[in-house]
Amino acid sequence: MTERTEGKLNRLQQLPEQTLVDAGWLDRHGYSTSVRRQYVRAGWLNQPAPRVYRRGRGQLDWKNVLISLQAVLGSGLTVGGKTALEQQGYAHFLRKTASVVELYGPARPPGWLGGLPLDVTFRWHNSRRLFPDDPGLAPSEGTEPAFAPNPLIPGGYMGLPAG
């Protein structure tokens, strides 16, 4: 392994466990298709769906997917509706339905989201329909957070416990 490849691997190891990134993110950070393939073969990355990669093993969880979308990929998505109520402990007030995660944001989530092996379905709602004049909901062009909390969520990442 070359020094350059080791440096890339070290950078990748700085991503928190269970973090998902897509091929576009890896391309922007200098990880070619052949390097990604090598990392998957070596077990440093796994590929839960085409063009999606993650660090770590174990069960894929929708909360980790959402945190990755927010903090690493800068999607501007957040949970809302019934999902938000369930996460705050109010599920007993809701009619029992299929496992749906209600996402709100100014732009559609990436297409690979529906291809992940999860026991939930994601349903996107355009937040601009709710708040058409809010400049904070406009996606930022060319910016990508570096593991920063989503400013649309008071207190950080939905206040979820880790793991």
- Residues 84, 80: Cα–Cα separation, whole Å: 5
pLDDT at 51: 93
- Residues 144, 126: Cα–Cα separation, whole Å: 21
| Structural domain count, the chain | 2
Would the pLDDT of 30 be above 70?
Answer: yes
pLDDT at 124: 83
Q: What is the mean pLDDT of the chain?
A: 74
Between 33 and 91, the more confident residue is 33
**Whose CA is closest to 114, among 34, 50, 43?**
50
- Tell me: the pLDDT tens digits for 126-143? 877 665 665 554 554 444
Q: Are both 71 and 111 inside the same structural domain? A: yes
- What is the domain extent for residue 70? 62-137
pLDDT at 32: 93
Q: Are both 47 and 66 inside the same structural domain? A: no
Would the pLDDT of 148 be above 50?
Answer: no
Which two tokens mark 136? 């904070």
Q: Are both 103 and 67 inside the same structural domain? A: yes
The answer to whether position 75 is within a domain reads: yes
Query: Which positions ≥6 away from 157 have C-beta within 8 Å?
Result: 66, 67, 70, 71, 149, 150
Would the pLDDT of 23 be above 80?
Answer: yes
> pTM (2 decimals)?
0.67
The answer to whether position 158 is within a domain reads: no
Is residue 107 exposed (0-12), middle (13-18) or buried (19+ Cβ within 10 Å)? middle
> Rounded mean pLDDT of 103-129?
84
The answer to whether position 36 is within a domain reads: yes
Q: Are both 115 and 131 inside the same structural domain? A: yes
